[in-house]
A and B are shown apart, each in its own frame.
Chain A
């Protein structure tokens, strides 16, 4: 049996200090298997994004145990966390591309974090990835010359170009219309499946729930699992 990509055990999280201290997550426990597509739903303020930033090593874990890619995040040093982030693909609600860089350069920014990929290969690889998301002809455009859906596809290419074992996405369709939103998630889903990457996707968008292997529901900082096939 393969080790899970993510193991979350009794994770609780608080914001604020003193009397204003507020608990956001309550004893969250779950696992994500390699290659699994998990969609997390729930109302606003239920703690979905907080959990996602904890998994992504963007916040430090306060209580409980959180293992990502075999590494315990609680009490991990800043440099360890930075190292771990390099092995996770991120897709944000806004595309968050670098406006001064062309599409292929944006993708290449991700490749440059991996010293095992030779520089000579990196541009080819960036362009191949853009082709995979259907933007072969748009590789030399700047982000402001692309549509919202195209930008989000560049962001997907950037997140997936280094074959991460784990992809985290926070409402990637929020800024897109119905058609391009669905397209974007399908592309992400297909590529991740091909590469064997696990996906944790936070969304409000009911139209894409059918792409999940498993749906988890978050409410008031507590997790409840639903079966996708149900």
Chain B
């Protein structure tokens, strides 16, 4: 509409102010990206294990709150469910945090021991969608042999590197878990989560050898696979009817949610979707983490808004006489408002770009330092761009009130 891009020319003329503004907005963008990224990585990492489980329905204890704080329940419930129509196979899973001793410890100040998530499964059962676990079934059957997660944090020791090196000579990595000597028989990739720094997979028998105090017949997760073509909802209804005890549901959940997540007697029955939601909800709602990251994002937003407001307000104040002149020449208020909003949007987009690029680097650093699955997603990229624009438009809306002060009668 106008041949002269006044908004851009005004910003460009004050190079230093422009750079300061862009640095400020870039900072706010990075802050929002990091907070949202950490949050997403947390929720993502918390359920990588769940997503790799090859089951349709899961049984857990009603007292379990998350994967790292599971209560066990009698495996009878799991075996009972084998009798329900639609159920194809079942498999018990044992979970426990055990103290792992780093066999390649280099001495203090680093600690030699660290707690690791030990997963016990019945060898031969198809529990994980992890090809390396399937390949190493024979290893799992051996006494005191474990599979090690190579994506575990490095504090557990250079296990995967040493494993590959020793394999050539026929040697094995030996270590201790809960003071019991074990050998690493193979590797797999799962990844650390906020709750567990690393993972081990072993057989159910080895699991009970490691955690010798655990009662026999008590399991942590019951994995149930449905026959192909079986209806999930109908099968869940059969669980609700046929398991012993009365059925209870969480009154805060919607009717649709309670179909896939309910308690019968001494077990909680969950669909895979509900099992994932159960874990994520724990981190979102029962810990401070979800709140902290949301608050962090909000603070980034507020900081950005204040910075842009300061810049725009100063800019408008500096140009007040010029704006009054434009009004006297016959420019409408609307034109001046559009100049301020254009400046806001130019700042938002120009500040976003370096923020985005820097953030890709920071994500990389975070990923390699923490083994958390943090990465840029299109959704988050768009969300933060929208937040950056919204941030600048809000500041612009506050700053334009100053434009009304430009009175053309004052300049004569």
Interface residues of A (CB under 8 A from B): 49, 52-53, 56, 58-59, 79, 82-88, 90, 92-94, 96-101, 105, 108-110, 112-113, 119, 122-123, 142, 158, 170
Contact = CB atoms under 8 A, between A and B. Distances in A.
Contacts of B10: 100
Nearest to A123: B3
Contacts of B4: 101, 105, 108-109, 112
Contact of A113 (B9, B14, B331): B331
A96 B411 contact: yes
A58 B329 contact: no
A88 B14 CA distance: 31
Interface in B1-50: 2-4, 6, 9-10, 12-14
A190 B328 CA distance: 24
Which 6 interchain pairs have the tightest Cβ spacing?
A86-B330, A100-B13, A85-B330, A96-B325, A58-B409, A100-B10
Contacts of A100: 6, 9-10, 12-14, 319
Nearest to B331: A113
Given A52-B412, A53-B409, A108-B4, 15 more contacts: A53-B412, A58-B408, A58-B412, A82-B332, A83-B330, A86-B330, A96-B411, A98-B319, A99-B13, A99-B322, A100-B6, A101-B4, A109-B4, A119-B3, A123-B3
B306 interface: no
B337 interface: no
Contact of A92 (B2, B325, B330): B325
B330 A113 contact: yes
Given A93-B412, A100-B9, A101-B4, A109 B326 contact: yes
A94 B324 CA distance: 13
B321 interface: yes
A56 B411 CA distance: 12
Contacts of A93: 412
B412 A112 contact: no
A85 B335 CA distance: 15
B13 A86 contact: no
Q: Which of A101, A142, A170 has the most chain B CB within a 10 Å cutoff?
A: A101
B412 A101 contact: no
A96 B330 contact: no
B409 A59 contact: yes
B154 to A, nearest CB: 54
Contacts, number: 81
Interface of B is mostly: helix
Contacts of A122: 3
13 contacts: A53-B409, A58-B328, A82-B330, A82-B332, A92-B325, A92-B412, A96-B322, A97-B322, A99-B322, A100-B6, A112-B3, A112-B4, A113-B329
Contacts of B325: 90, 92, 96, 98
Contacts of B409: 53, 58-59
Contacts of A99: 13, 322
B329 A90 contact: yes
A108 B324 CA distance: 17
A101 B330 CA distance: 18
Nearest to B318: A99
B301 to A, nearest CB: 29
A105 B326 contact: no
Given A58-B408, A96-B411, A112-B4, A105 B332 contact: no
B335 to A, nearest CB: 9
Contacts of B412: 49, 52-53, 56, 58, 92-93, 170
B411 A101 contact: no
Contacts of B330: 82-88, 113
B9 A112 contact: no
B39 to A, nearest CB: 41
Contact of A109 (B14, B321, B329, B411): B329
Nearest to B10: A100
Contacts of A59: 409
Contacts of A119: 3
Nearest to B11: A100
A100 B412 CA distance: 21
Contacts of B329: 85-86, 90, 109-110, 113, 158
Nearest to A85: B330
A226 to B, nearest CB: 23
B5 to A, nearest CB: 10
B411 A92 contact: yes
Contact of B3 (A53, A94, A108, A170): A108
A181 to B, nearest CB: 18
Contacts of A97: 322
Nearest to A48: B412
Nearest to A52: B412
B9 A105 contact: yes
B12 A85 contact: no
Given A53-B409, A85-B330, A90-B329, A98 B3 contact: no
B325 to A, nearest CB: 4
Interface string B76-119: 00000000000000000000000000000000000000000000
Contacts of B13: 99-100, 142
B3 to A, nearest CB: 5
A121 to B, nearest CB: 11
Interface string B324-356: 111111111000000000000000000000000
Contact of B6 (A82, A85, A94, A98): A98
